[in-house]
């Protein structure tokens, strides 16, 4: 099988300068899988509470996403509440209720343990490591993380990232993890920690891809309106790993293009609240915007 993602399924309550939504579908595994599905088969390992509507799971399944690994646990679904100001690069978290997620011990169903590509979305690095040990021989392993784990679980995180091929993180996380203010130096320092491929996301300012002896600087796709940046990072990861996972040879060019596909899918995700835009998105939209991106970056 193709891609396995371990991450969250959540209810998000989000306020941006363009509106407000209450308890809408969110979570890293949700955004990732709805993005990766355009390129490869994808299954989720996650948990939801008893309050999670069956129609939402049915919706994910209708989009071709494997949900056999989604456990329904006693209690309430993970909830996150945040507000974005004029600078939409920064989310101000107002509340995080882990609920069922606080007790979650991910178990990979046997038929999913043969995934070729594994994405360890942003959860406790010890859990990410547990999952990694349950997957047999993934060809490609990528992880995300956040400032909280860098501060409070640094050892476990360092142990994990020794074993991954790709790490995705935003610019402030890269600086925090490496202790370097300069992004090129930060990328080099993180590469010395293990991963071959470092992806540093700078929100609306694009992305720095650092590979052995080379790097790519790519701008973000500029939109006239961004309604909700929630899920941009996971949609980026979905587009990137979806594209890369299908490649026979993971060479420099494939990695570079995968970063652009990540950029493109993320640019759709932020056009509307929650996963709304990802639900109406078609593969041809992605292809057309990729072509447009080529035009607006070539000189």
Which residues of the chain form contacts with a copy of itself (CB under 8 A)? 86, 181-185, 202, 205-206, 208, 214-220, 222-225, 253, 256-257, 259-260, 295-299
Q: How far is the CB of 293 from a copy of itself (least distance, A)?
A: 9
Q: How far is the CB of 196 from a copy of itself (least distance, A)?
A: 18
Distance CA 162, CA 154 (A): 12
Comparison of 90 and 217: residue with beta carbon closer to a copy of itself: 217
Smallest CA-to-CA distance from 134 within 150, 101, 112 is with 112
Q: How far is the CB of 72 from a copy of itself (least distance, A)?
A: 41
C-beta of residue 242 within 8 angstroms of C-beta of residue 35: yes
C-beta of residue 46 within 8 angstroms of C-beta of residue 10: no
Comparison of 58 and 217: residue with beta carbon closer to a copy of itself: 217
Q: How far is the CB of 296 from a copy of itself (least distance, A)?
A: 5
Comparison of 151 and 214: residue with beta carbon closer to a copy of itself: 214
Comparison of 42 and 260: residue with beta carbon closer to a copy of itself: 260
Comparison of 158 and 256: residue with beta carbon closer to a copy of itself: 256
Smallest CA-to-CA distance from 139 within 164, 108, 104 is with 164
Comparison of 89 and 134: residue with beta carbon closer to a copy of itself: 89
Q: How far is the CB of 163 from a copy of itself (least distance, A)?
A: 27
Distance CA 85, CA 270 (A): 15
DSSP string, 223-247: -S--S--TTHHHHHHHHHHHHHHT-
Task: Quickly tell me which residue has 């935003």 as its tokens.
Answer: 170
Q: How far is the CB of 258 from a copy of itself (least distance, A)?
A: 9
Distance CA 108, CA 44 (A): 10
Q: How far is the CB of 222 from a copy of itself (least distance, A)?
A: 5
Comparison of 179 and 181: residue with beta carbon closer to a copy of itself: 181
Q: How far is the CB of 255 from a copy of itself (least distance, A)?
A: 9
Comparison of 81 and 188: residue with beta carbon closer to a copy of itself: 188
For residue 225, what are the contacts with CB-CB under 8 A and spacing of at least 6? 18, 271
Smallest CA-to-CA distance from 141 within 169, 170, 120, 111 is with 120
């Amino acid at each position: 099988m193709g891609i396995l993602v371990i991450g969250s399924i959540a209810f998000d309550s989000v306020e941006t300068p363009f509106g407000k939504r209450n308890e809408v579908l969110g979570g890293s595994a949700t955004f990732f899988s709805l993005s990766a599905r355009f390129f490869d088969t994808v299954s989720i390992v996650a948990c939801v509470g008893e309050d999670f509507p069956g129609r939402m799971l049915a919706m994910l399944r209708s989009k071709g996403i494997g949900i056999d690994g989604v456990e329904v646990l006693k209690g309430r679904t993970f909830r996150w509440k945040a507000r974005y100001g004029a600078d939409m690069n920064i989310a101000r978290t107002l509340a995080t209720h882990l609920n069922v997620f606080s007790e979650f011990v991910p178990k990979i169903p046997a038929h999913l343990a043969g995934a070729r590509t594994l994405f360890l979305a942003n959860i406790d690095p010890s859990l990410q490591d547990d999952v990694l040990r349950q997957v047999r021989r993934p060809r490609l392993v990528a992880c995300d993380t956040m400032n909280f784990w860098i501060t409070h679980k640094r050892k476990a995180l360092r142990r994990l990232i020794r074993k991954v091929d790709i790490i995705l993180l935003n610019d402030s996380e890269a600086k925090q993890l490496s202790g370097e203010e300069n992004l090129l130096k930060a990328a080099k320092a993180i590469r010395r920690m293990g991963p071959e491929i470092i992806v540093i996301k700078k929100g609306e300012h694009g992305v720095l891809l650092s590979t052995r002896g080379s790097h790519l600087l790519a701008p973000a796709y500029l939109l006239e309106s961004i309604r909700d940046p929630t899920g941009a990072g996971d949609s980026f990861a979905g587009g990137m790993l979806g594209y890369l996972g299908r490649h026979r040879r993971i060479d420099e060019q494939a990695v570079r293009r995968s970063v652009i596909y990540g950029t493109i899918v993320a640019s759709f995700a932020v056009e509307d609240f929650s996963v709304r835009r990802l639900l109406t998105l078609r593969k041809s939209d992605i292809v057309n915007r990729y072509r447009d991106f080529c035009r607006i970056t070539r000189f």
